[in-house]
Structure 1
Amino acid sequence: MSRAVHVVGAGVAGLVAALALARAGRAVTLHEAAPVAGGRCRALPDGTDNGTHALMGANRAALRFLADIGAAEGWIEPEPAGLPVLDLADGAARRIAASPLAWRDPALRPPGLTAAGFLALLGMALPFTDKPVAEVLAKHPALLRGFVEPLTVAALNTPVAEASSARLGQVLRRLGGAGAARLLVAREGLGPNLVTPALAALQAAGVAIRFGSRLRAMTQADGRIAALHLGEDSLAVTEGDAVLLALPPWEAARLITGLKVPERHAPILNLHFAIDGVGPVRFLGLVGGLAQWVLVRPSGVSVTVSAADDESEEPVDTLAPRAWAEIRRAAAAFALPGAWPEAPPPCHAVKERRATPRHAVGFPPLAPRRPMRNLALAGDWTWPGLPATIEAAALSGEAATKVLLRLGPTA
């Protein structure tokens, strides 16, 4: 039975695992190379978020974690009547429901949805074939453009021309249940509504947290981890102790010889506009332009561009005016309160160049959950049942925890 556990990586997977292990009675130390926790769900030094992260009602593992840390009430449903979506090509403003159960109302159906289009979506939800999403929906261009493509780039962070229909099907299968398609965002931000309560819960559970503690290497002996080399220090991992790595795939591959991991990644671009007095919290979708998702809070406006292969190379001086012009159109289309000046307010760009693996046709190598006797792996890229999402990260943290709690001879 494991006594002490070193959790390396304070993203969502590491936070979930560290808390569960501590509450199960383990002596947990959480190591994080960065000065802050959260990983890709982190808060920036100025208090804004690195991206417009959202959860769905189907994300039960992520919602469990929010409940466990006492943060669930900070996540709200800004668009209960359906997601407002503006088509920048023709100015059409509509509300679209993500759940097929709501499509009985014609006003909430995706544009271009026909009986044949619905059958094409149903076919993707069944795990029988794997083709590029654009190929599957080739006969339904309006449905692809107005609904499936935004969903694909949001969930898979991969252009539809290469995105895996099987991976998108994993998402579609989760949206059919009652309440599964509810969209939730942090009311104030990832700092106050995720990272801060998570760290408080960890400290209350007795977890020792070490920031600026980068894992340089691990000493292996007899099929187990014998030592961790963190910064200038080395820590012995004695018999009965364990290690949980919750790191990006390239870091895990650096540390574990021969580990097969996803090698191709896709970027995400986030733009944060500093503007006051534009609340309440809203979440909008845009089609046909630069901006894809717009999160409005009283403290500012954030834009996300997923699968941003070209956009991530563009300077913020040209990105900001383009995005702001689209935001103003959306604000007018949906009558958002507040002043929306013509000139863009100050803008800060965050470019996550390796935000997620590229979810192309064919599944990536499946990482072993327990590659060594006293070592478990977590991280969104290790969960085969979903693309790399917050939910996948939380599920992987839970799974790695279970492995270590029943630690025994390597299977």
Structure 2
Amino acid sequence: MKFTHPPGATPVDGFTIRRGIHRGGFGEVYYAVSDAGKEVALKLLQHEPDVELRGVTQCLNLKHPNLVNLFDVKTDSHGESWVVMEYVNGTSLEDVLAAFPNGLSLDEVRDWLTGLVAGVSHLHDRGIVHRDLKPANVYRENGVVKVGDVGLSKKLGSDRRGAHTQSVGTVYYMAPEVAKGQYGPEVDVYSLGIMLYELLTGRVPFTGETTAEILMKHLTAKPDLAPLPERLRAVVARALEKDPQKRTSTVRQLEEEFAQAIDDNRQSASTRPPSPQSGRPWMGGDRPEARNGRPTSFASATLAYAASVPAVPVSPAPPPPVPARSGNPSTRDARESVPTGKARSARASSTNVSDRHRWIALVIALVGGLIVFSPGTPRAWAGLGLIGLAYSAALFARTPKWGPDELEPLAEPVTPLRQALAE
């Protein structure tokens, strides 16, 4: 980008240019340093300087933390006008939106909007309309949002709605009534509504191939609200009303409606019941990383598996057989010694379940012992190991031991001959 004045030039007494910053519709902006060492921005007015000077003059020394402050107006040896203003070493909103083409987060949008409204409200409270709000004129330095380029701003007269002026401002952010030569604080509300739409979506609502096409859309077309979050559509729609009388009345009201919609939604979300969550809450300590919800260590995998096994009630052992009082004792003993098919199947199933629980308990006990007695084990893991030991002990206590009942299906039937020999 080529600038008129090179670094080191001193076109204005008391200031030395260090580098060019920006070239815009009304002139060039330079970074400069005063003879006293103060950093400033020098703006050379090249196009329609009378319009620019009118806006600058009414805003001189209008100090506010959310405005780029204007200090002085000077004339060089060639009769050109220069504006001495605050140097903002920050990022423009235009650059931020270029980096985030799909829009910003709601918290980021709120931060930008709050600073914008504070600066513009300060102008409105003093009867000044900015008339050229756009992302390229908004900056953020050290977290503070600043509104700049007030060259098109205009002091309101006593009959503001009947007043007329030339159509100015950037066409994408221009209120419909400005195209007709009418203005008021509502034009800034409309421009801020366009910017809010762009902050949320990454694009402006009205585009076209020519300036006339875009202006016609501002005058007649309804904005597409579908890309906006549902709870904010009504807020933006009111700010973009074609009729200034139906539009959101002030920029402060726009900010309040936006904040209310966001806060109401968050409050509603906080009152919803929590979604069911699997697993158990983490109790502190050095938490292992997990991938795809799976434990990453053998110990945690084993304990997780054991915790997932449902407890199976163990049937009490059957009472011992009662001696027969009559009939053939050998035949009765043989019947009672050999279980039926159903009884044999049930007992085998119970034995399999018991074996499974014993092995699970044994593995948990081993892993729990390793966790508890390993040097340098975090407290949370040591507690988890103790829980595993306790769980394994409970499984052992609830599982019947191996004994005659388990071995009984393997015993040979008692025959009358065996009974006689035994007697």
Structure number with higher strand proportion: 1
Which is higher, the Rg of structure 1 or of structure 2?
2
TM-score by length of 1: 0.21
TM-score (norm 2): 0.21
Q: Specify which structure has the bigger relative contact order, considering alpha-carbon pairs within 8 angstroms and separated by 6 or more residues.
A: 1
